[in-house]
Amino acid sequence: MNDTASDSIFDLSVNDIQGKAHLLEEYKGKVLLIVNTASKCGFTTQYQGLQALHDQFSSRGLVVMGFPCNQFGAQEPGNEQEIAQFCSLTYNVSFPMFSKVDVNGSEAHPLFKLLKHQAPGILGTEAIKWNFTKFLVDQTGKVVSRYAPKTAPADIAPDIERLLE
């Protein structure tokens, strides 16, 4: 795998939307739903469904993680403060949001390089096609499933339920 030092998600670090660094190892033992998000996308209303999953499953060990990305139609033009305010005021988002990242190309965040490598898309392509691509990661850090942007968060609930059993 190119450009990533590790095959484990838990060896990576991310910055939250306030800019504070977090080692992903703090999420060991949790089920993660990692999503590249955007505030001005046709799928932006999925924040509602993602928040519903957070509300339903966070007490059992699910962590929904939003990563704003401006690589698709420039649909996330704001800075982190504007994004955080939008998510809070418009969708009452209380799950963790992280700093804006690239998910494709040479500047792609190592987390997304790893996710794409572990769970390629249709016909084996690793590239993320659009905002709100979702990756479901089990408690050991293994990517279990990759979901298309059009997949509603509610449709992922049965898969989350199985992992939390």
Q: In this structure, is residue 4 part of a structural domain?
A: no
CATH number of domain containing 96: 3.40.30.10
Residue 131: inside a domain, yes or no? yes
* Domain membership flag for residue 5: no
Percentage above 90 pLDDT, the chain:
87
Domain that residue 124 falls in: 11-71+79-135+143-164
In the chain, DSSP assigns E strands to 13-15, 21-23, 31-37, 62-68, 134-137, 143-147
pLDDT digits (tens, 9 = 90+) for 134-149: 999 999 999 999 999 9
- Overall domain count for the chain: 1
Q: What is the pLDDT along the chain (165 residues), one digit of tens a residue?
A: 344 446 789 999 999 999 999 999 999 999 999 999 999 999 899 999 999 999 999 999 999 999 999 999 999 998 999 999 999 999 999 999 999 999 999 999 999 999 999 888 777 778 899 999 999 999 999 999 999 999 999 999 999 999 998
Residues that are catalytic = 41
In a domain, 15, yes or no: yes
